[in-house]
Amino acid sequence: MFGTSESIAARLSAHHRVQRLPTAKAELFQLRGFADPSLCAELIALIDAGRRPSTIADDNGDAYFRTSETCDLAAGLPAVERIEALIAQLSGLDRAYGEPLQGQRYAEGQEFKPHTDYFTPGGRDFARFCTLSGNRTWTFMIYLNEVAAGGATRFKMLDKTFQPETGKLLCWNNRLADGSVNPATLHHGMKVRKGVKYVITKWYRERPWRG
């Protein structure tokens, strides 16, 4: 059963190492050292082996809006199963509601301009992506490495920027208390200035995932 936003936030808040951003605008948490370096290295290798150009929903015509590469990580691989289990244990979320795990790679000069993870109700691609499983609810994102320069994640409306740290988890609720989408979760995968950035992302839906 999919937990309520209140129960998920309460579960995260009760964890002794989880830090909640002190704002009423969004439910956003971080946990340093969530994934160990060896697991991060395994996931980086999988991303490098299967990466492809990233895409976006509701394409706005800006060819430079999202310039990273993406990798769909197959369920059943040992590293994928380990990280999936860690996320499920921390969050209490039913794995049936989760999208397949996805990895992203940002080379020097690449970024993902300010965007939200939810699909905009009424947007051109909303029906395509949300008819079966509903909109995205929670996001769990893990940095897999440190970056020599750049590559931070900036939540402009929350006045908070997070720097990449190996194994650090960020997670947030993409919705408000009434179930509507939360524009304050707008975030920017800032340009990598030096080095390469790797992250993995797990998104959850309103209904069980059906592809």
What is the domain count for the chain?
A: 1
CA–CA distance from 77 to each of 42, 43, 72, 82, 140 (Å)?
10, 10, 12, 9, 19
Q: What is the Cα–Cα distance from 33 to 42, expressed in whole angstroms?
A: 16
Is residue 210 domain-resident? no
Whether 185 is in a domain gets the answer yes
Q: Where are the alpha helices (DSSP H) in 51-197?
A: 78-91, 126-130
* Tens digits of residue pLDDT in 196-207: 999 999 999 999
Mean pLDDT of the chain: 92
**What is the rounded distance in angstroms from the CA atom of residue 118 to the CA atom of residue 154?**
17
Position 64 scores a pLDDT of 57
Mean pLDDT over residues 16-30, rounded?
97
* pLDDT surpassing 90 at residue 67: no
Q: Is the pLDDT of residue 54 over 90?
A: no
Strand order through the sheet with 197-205: 19-20, 28-31, 169-173, 136-143, 197-205, 102-106, 69-72, 52-53
Predicted confidence at residue 36, as pLDDT, reads 98
Task: State pTM to two decimals.
Answer: 0.93
Q: 49 falls in which pLDDT band (50, 70, 90)? A: very high
Task: Report how far apart, in Å, the C-alpha atoms of 179 and of each of 10, 104, 131, 134, 156 are.
Answer: 17, 28, 16, 12, 22
Write down the pLDDT at residue 6: 74
67 is a domain residue: yes
Res 188: pLDDT: 96
Residue 117 domain-assigned (yes or no): yes
Does the pLDDT at position 128 exceed 70? Answer: yes
pLDDT-derived band at 1 (thresholds 50, 70, 90) equals: very low
- Model confidence pLDDT, tens digit, residues 26-40: 999 999 999 999 999
32 touches 168 (CB < 8 A) = yes
Classify residue 211: in a domain, yes or no: no
Question: What CATH code is carried by the domain that includes residue 30?
Answer: 2.60.120.620
Range of the domain at 184: 5-205
Q: How far apart are CA 87 and CA 80, in angstroms?
A: 11
Percent of the chain with pLDDT over 70: 92
150-182 pLDDT tens trace: 999 999 999 999 999 999 999 999 999 999 999
